[in-house]
Structure 1
Amino acid sequence: MNQDIIDAIRQIAPGLELNKNEKMSRHTTFKTGGPVSLFIRPANLDELKGAISILRRAETPYFILGNGSNLLVSDKGFDGAIISTDKLADIHLEDENKIYAEAGAMNSRIAAFARDNSLTGFEFAAGIPGTIGGAMIMNAGAYDGEMKLVTKEVRALSPQGEVIRLDNNSLQFGYRTSALKGKEFVVVSALLELEKGDKEAITSRMQELALKRKDKQPLEYPSAGSTFKRPEGYFAGKLIEDAGLRGYSVGGAQVSEKHCGFVINKGNATSSDIYKLICDVQKKVYDDFGVKLEPEVIMLGKF
């Protein structure tokens, strides 16, 4: 990373936390990934805007990181900057049924906050291991719920560095996508609109879903959740199982024996192991069934 870029960032945001050559294995749920040239942790919107402004001006590639729960970083690392939102995690009530959450707030924390305020509608997201910023970009969902159903508004930074507001219709939510995906908008916060409910019933539903996840998903191993998008008319896990790939391994990476839709780090896997396993699964499923599996996981760096 060019020292002039670091100096410029420090000049406009003297207190901003910057780390060189940070290992991304510390920041992804796969627990893999090499070093990133510069790891940035803004503590407020001004620091976020300032860092992005300098990086854009210098034409330096950067990636906005939530919980790293949908990310595979190359073992070679990433020649650019990672901007973590983990310090941008405020959650509060906007009124009696609306929750304001900054981009770095974990979905599990928001679900607990909603429960504690007797608000229902967000129970489905309690076990989604990511932040609300990432959830908005991909319209995260589970158990018949999705962000589309609870989102009132998103605030985001435009490529010009302006904070804009996008309502539910403008976000164009679809299956694991939104108008934010693939664009240069950076989610700053979300406004969720829920309904008043019974706290005991909300708690019971969250416990029920937690038990379902524990029973069906390999939560005891590092993973990025469901590895592949659901192909139209099929289920990815069923296709992978029918292709005879249950338990298939490459190095320390494995197709989960508990749920074939999950690729797990069984022990000391590298990103290269995981990447090759994903490619092998895609090829075998296509060869057997003519179905192209599209990864949900974002690949960052050179593979």
Structure 2
Amino acid sequence: MSIQKWFQDLITQLDPQNVKIDEALHLHTMTRMGGIADLFVTPETEEQVAFVVQYAYENKIPLLLLGNGSNMVVRDGGVRGIVLCLEKLNKIKIVGNRVIAESGSDIIDVSRAVAKETLSGLEFACGIPGSVGGAMAMNAGAYGGEVQDVILQCTVLTQSGEKLILSKEELELGYRKSIITKKGYYVLSAEFELQKGKQEEIDAKVADLTFQRESKQPLEYPSAGSVFKRPPGYFAGKLIQDSGLQGKGFGGAEVSTKHAGFIINKNNATATDYISTIEMVKKTVKENFDIDLELEVKIVGENKE
């Protein structure tokens, strides 16, 4: 089957404007890097998502889920098959002390929306640069809070397109992992249960966490966020800093001088520059401390020929 055939089949259910051939992925990643996607699809409804997932499964077409591109490095050769972007599934609905958020909504936006309704529990997410789907898959956390503290249930599609509603226990949430990543599920929406709080306390906490993030993280440059998971008993950023790697890198990529846990796209870096810098960091920390840093970011796609 040709890419043109995929396109024709998909636009039977999706608006043609939401199915793009040869889309540049650097336009959709927070690193501002990445090659071309054969087909880039942005469904507007859960039914359309299910159609795309089932179509790819039945026709054995590779399918890559791209959230808001915050935790991903796309290689310079791009991605073959279909890239599924859920940014148009971004509705947020608050009922009582619960919030239902579609997978493409930014977790920051959900955090802000519930804070305005005097609901407490998602303040920790006010600075996490990811989508709800990504936050669910990774059990995202910051400043002492994690998704697993507030999640009630999550609606997903299996790789064959079957819809499942998973309880907190069924999600098997752990440190930066879940059944979602283990099984390759596609998140449609998540329901969180929060507590009524005091507006001034919620606002103060959000303001404090926002200040901490903005003062300590290199938000002025494109990046994939925190690159490495926290090794047991250590902090990745401290190990990298103590290795003297800040300011070092390849091409336009550099270990941030503001926060060593971040690798920034300082000057038109390629994905090859970025990945080479990641490997240099891993190798140096291993040599200095005998600790294997594990990636928190996902590296996808093909190398450029």
TM-score, reference length from structure 2: 0.96
Residues 233-282 of structure 1: CA distance to partner in whole angstroms, max 9, x if unpaired? 11111111111111112111000001111100111111000000000111
Residues 142-191 of structure 1: CA distance to partner in whole angstroms, max 9, x if unpaired? 00000000100000012332211111111111100011114231100000
Unaligned runs of 5+ in 2: none
Summarize the alignment of residues 209-288 of structure 1 with structure 2, pairs less than 5 Å apart: 209-288=209-288
Unaligned runs of 5+ in 1: none
SS at match of 2:213: helix
Summarize the alignment of residues 1-303 of structure 1 with structure 2, pairs less than 5 Å apart: 2-13=3-14, 17-93=18-94, 95-303=95-303
Task: Name the count of aligned residue pairs.
Answer: 302
Contact 2:240 2:260 in 1 (8 A): yes
Per the TM alignment, residue 203 of structure 1 is displaced from its structure 2 partner at its CA by 1.3
Q: How far apart, in 1, do the equivalents of 2:15 and 2:271 lie?
A: 34
What stretches of structure 1 move > 3 A for 4+ residues in a row? Answer: 12-16
SS at match of 2:180: coil
Residues 91-116 of structure 1: CA distance to partner in whole angstroms, max 9, x if unpaired? 011x3100000000111110111011
Q: How far apart, in 2, do the equivalents of 1:224 and 1:6 lie?
A: 30
Per the TM alignment, residue 16 of structure 1 is displaced from its structure 2 partner at its CA by 6.5
Per the TM alignment, residue 13 of structure 1 is displaced from its structure 2 partner at its CA by 3.5
The code of the aligned residue for 1:288 comes to N
TM-score, reference length from structure 1: 0.97
Point out the more displaced range, 8-17 or 197-206. 8-17
Q: How far apart, in 1, do the equivalents of 2:14 and 2:146 lie?
A: 36
Residues 194-234 of structure 1: CA distance to partner in whole angstroms, max 9, x if unpaired? 00011222111111101001111111111111110011111
SS at match of 2:51: helix
Residues 115-160 of structure 1: CA distance to partner in whole angstroms, max 9, x if unpaired? 1111001011011011111000000000000000010000001233
Percent sequence identity over matched residues? 41
Q: How far apart, in 1, do the equivalents of 2:165 and 2:19 lie?
A: 29
SS at match of 1:47: helix
Point out the more displaced range, 224-233 or 187-196. 224-233
SS at match of 1:287: helix
Q: How far apart, in 2, do the equivalents of 1:271 and 1:204 lie?
A: 38
SS at match of 1:20: strand
Contact 2:107 2:130 in 1 (8 A): yes
SS at match of 1:189: strand
Q: How far apart, in 2, do the equivalents of 1:209 and 1:281 lie?
A: 28
SS at match of 2:202: helix
**Aligned-pair Cα RMSD in Å:** 1.2
Point out the more displaced range, 239-248 or 276-285. 239-248
Q: How far apart, in 1, do the equivalents of 2:257 and 2:3 lie?
A: 45
